[in-house]
Structure 1
Amino acid sequence: METNKKTSRNKMIVSGIVPFIFIILMMAYIFGPGADLLDLGVPLPEITIEKVDFVKSEIHVTVRNTGPIPVQISMADVNDRIQPAAIEPDKFLERYETALVRIPFEWNEAEPYIIGLTTDDGVRFEKQINAAATALQPNIEFVAFFAIIGTYVGVIPVMIGLLWLPFIKKISKSKYHFFLALTTGLLLFLGIDSVKEAFDVSSENLSGSFNGELLIATTLVLSFLGLYYASEKLTGKADSLKISKPVAIGLMIAIGIGLHNFGEGLAIGAAIGLGSIAFSTFLIIGFALHNTTEGLAIAAPLSRGKLMVGKLIMLGMIAGVPAIFGGWVGGFAYSPFSAVIFLSIGAGAIFQVIVIILKWIREEGEKNLSSASVVSGFAIGMLIMYATSILI
């Protein structure tokens, strides 16, 4: 009997491995003896200029080979005039490999420039800079500056929003459902906004070889599933962990908002790093007003639990502080690829929080999610976020 079980188990393992063996053989043939089958047309080079930094008497260009074949960078130009350039580590780029092109050039603050790179087969790629600005260096002064901006944009507005908690605690059950639905509307708008920002960054800065749309969708879904699984475990074990279910829900909301605020910090840091002073000012003011409603999103589920000021402040910090870290990353080490990833993660986190809140509304006794209080709260939440987003 034991022998039969072992034999059956071995057969099962073999049956699971055999398809993988055939897949490997098929791919080995296509990229080996059968490579001629794919030798159709002429593969074209493609490079992406990911970042342009203006430093003292130099322009630094970060470039990535995003095409199907290796490329060689032969020359660089500024405003259509060929310039000498040093390429580190070298001018030969394999697929997805990056290089730093250093162009000696006496540039002027706030002037527009067009940076061009030409490959050895004569194909030219360019990136337009609307206004040159000195690249930020990670020193104490700028670290403190971004910390202050992140606090102003993320921490303080969320804390202000939490001040609605005493008011929400005293309202009736139907009005409480209204505010929970309002929270859901606020978060849905934030989630859609994160997806929109991710698509904008992808279309403007990433080559098609990265499949930006699919990258966003994949990251969003994985973020949603991972955080939803974590939230289910957390809320399911709330009693054993000695935390109330409202606090557990508030914690997941704070995490979702925090991931979103990291993306906002990225946007502000990148705008300041690129010298877009007017644009960055609008972002700071707009996000600051925008984010006061996020405190309300955290306060709504907590209003049905015992008021604990310490935990309330902790949740506010979890939601707001990531804006500081986002500012540091955006200002000192901005990357379009990482920006798309973080924005997508933030969107997935927010969408999973929406599912949690809707379940919480049902558990609170509102079996019909199409009731007047829920529908009106949802709609007003979206309208509030739209109204404040106009300022951004």
Structure 2
Amino acid sequence: MSERADIETEREPVTAPEAEANRAPASGWRGWASTVTVVLLLGLALAALAVVGGRSLPERIGPPVEELAVEQVRLSPGRMDLTVRNAGPDPVQVAQVFVNDAFVDVRGGEEPIEPRRSTVLTLDYPWQEGQPYVVSMLTSTGLVIEHEIGAAVRTPTGGRDLFAVMALLGTYVGIVPVVLGMLLLPVLRRIGKGGIRFLLAVTVGLLIFLAVDAVFEGFELGDRSGGAFGGVSLLALGAILAFLGLTFIDRWLHRRGDPAGGRGGGRLALMIAIGIGLHNLGEGLAIGSAYALGELALGAALVIGFALHNTTEGLAIVSPLLAAQRPGVPRLLGLGLIAGGPAILGAVLGASVGNAELSLLLLGLGIGAIAQVVVQIAPALRTTDDRATGTVAAMDATAILGVAVGVAAMYATGLLVLA
């Protein structure tokens, strides 16, 4: 009896932290179990509401809502292929099709087009090069939906030749101009701190112009799209996703302190390259789509115009590197490929796909990426930033002048782009 008592007294008492640690796994599992239970109950409630609520509500009063959007037109000798999507809530049956008020034979579209679905209408019509046409689709309810072709041009056929042309064009308007702009880095290193701040302000002006230009282009694309997948809403979705994605990448690089991402200027240069790359992805998509529709005149004027226009993007990338250590040539080439390479992918997609919704989403990605980069650069434009005392000064005249110069430079070089 005394031995058992001695053993009991020799045991160390359980401290409060140890008891809390023992209870932590049990409480963690109970928390996860309760969360899963709530989610399952919520899902069952929503499913029941969808079934019961949908059956209990009356049918919509009034005629069916019929909305058709022509997403793509491909022209070949004696033939028009129209990709038509139902952007409304009700099925649509195409009964007849007219081209310039002349009835034409149609293949495809025998069954009603369900909401959000698409079909291809093949029209046998001897169209003439360069002539305008109006395609009128008569639905089963008597509604006439028209689509205008400004100037009929044969659609380039896909294949190795088309991809080669688009890759070459993307290189000319994307990679080459950006790398040329980055060659100014040795010259720019001779300026002082005030000059560096001025160039950063010019960078902000360049990026602001790119973002605003993409917004206007997105609104124009939204008007031409059928709105089946949100229209302009895709622009906002892409912008939000890109802004949050680049913010996550920046925080991750900051925590790692990775030399590839760099600290300070190096990381900022990488962020600018990614932002400009996403913008060039949308720009390449627009170029490829315009080429597929016959609206893009290839030639020296286009190449020189885009070269001068996008050379300023290379200047924007190297501006944060002026105060940092001298970067190596492979790193500079990597930044140039990140910023200019997506133009090649965009041009190939634009020539082969030609989808307005995809264009809107990619334009939104570029807008959000540029906005995030501008947010990162803005603190460097202030003359004083004393966070300890809470004193933050606004931009001075030099920074404001730099932003104005950047906007003016992008506008002036943009006038040289003939498309």
Is the shorter-chain TM-score for this pair beyond 0.5, marking a shared fold?
yes
Secondary structure of 1:378's counterpart equals helix
Contact 2:129 2:152 (8 Å CA) reproduced: yes
> Which one of 72, 75, 83 corresponds to residue 51 of structure 1?
72
Once the 2 structures are TM-superposed, how far is the Cα of residue 148 of structure 1 from its aligned partner? 2.0
Contact 2:238 2:363 (8 Å CA) reproduced: no
User: Could you tell me which residue of structure 1 aligns to residue 413 of structure 2?
Assistant: 388
Q: 1:280 and 1:212, CA in 2 relative to 1: closer, same or farther beyond 3 A?
A: farther
Once the 2 structures are TM-superposed, how far is the Cα of residue 16 of structure 1 from its aligned partner? 5.6
Alignment of 1:223 with 2:238, yes or no, is no
> Which one of 320, 327, 344 corresponds to residue 340 of structure 2?
320
Note the 1:342-357 alignment, pairs <5 A: 342-357=362-377
Q: 1:17 and 1:364, CA in 2 relative to 1: closer, same or farther beyond 3 A?
A: farther
Note the 1:1-392 alignment, pairs <5 A: 5=27, 14=37, 18-32=41-55, 34-36=56-58, 39-87=60-108, 90-204=110-224, 206-239=225-258, 243-278=262-297, 284-305=303-324, 306-361=326-381, 368-392=393-417
Distance in 2 (CA, whole Å) between partners of 1:159 and 1:365 is: 33
Distance in 2 (CA, whole Å) between partners of 1:226 and 1:352 is: 9
Secondary structure of 1:52's counterpart equals strand
Q: 1:240 and 1:294, CA in 2 relative to 1: closer, same or farther beyond 3 A?
A: closer
Contact 1:76 1:83 (8 Å CA) reproduced: yes
Distance in 1 (CA, whole Å) between partners of 2:101 and 2:261 is: 66
Letter in 1 for 2:374: I
Q: 1:64 and 1:282, CA in 2 relative to 1: closer, same or farther beyond 3 A?
A: farther
Secondary structure of 2:108's counterpart equals strand
Once the 2 structures are TM-superposed, how far is the Cα of residue 56 of structure 1 from its aligned partner? 2.5
Once the 2 structures are TM-superposed, how far is the Cα of residue 327 of structure 1 from its aligned partner? 1.4
Q: 1:239 and 1:44, CA in 2 relative to 1: closer, same or farther beyond 3 A?
A: closer
Q: 1:143 and 1:172, CA in 2 relative to 1: closer, same or farther beyond 3 A?
A: same
Letter in 2 for 1:335: N
Contact 2:261 2:270 (8 Å CA) reproduced: no
Q: 1:370 and 1:155, CA in 2 relative to 1: closer, same or farther beyond 3 A?
A: same
Distance in 2 (CA, whole Å) between partners of 1:153 and 1:352 is: 24
Q: Deviations over 1:232-280 (max 9, x none)?
A: 2123323465745423221221111111111111222112211124599
Identical-pair percentage: 36
Contact 1:115 1:126 (8 Å CA) reproduced: yes
Give the root-mean-square deviation of aligned CA atoms.
2.7
Which 10-residue stretch deviates more, 10-19 or 38-47? 10-19
Q: Deviations over 1:3-54 (max 9, x none)?
A: 994667655654565555444433333312x220x62333311111111110
Q: Deviations over 1:303-332 (max 9, x none)?
A: 222231111111112111211221111122
Structure showing greater Rg: 2
Once the 2 structures are TM-superposed, how far is the Cα of residue 141 of structure 1 from its aligned partner? 2.4
Q: Deviations over 1:46-74 (max 9, x none)?
A: 11111111013211000001110112222
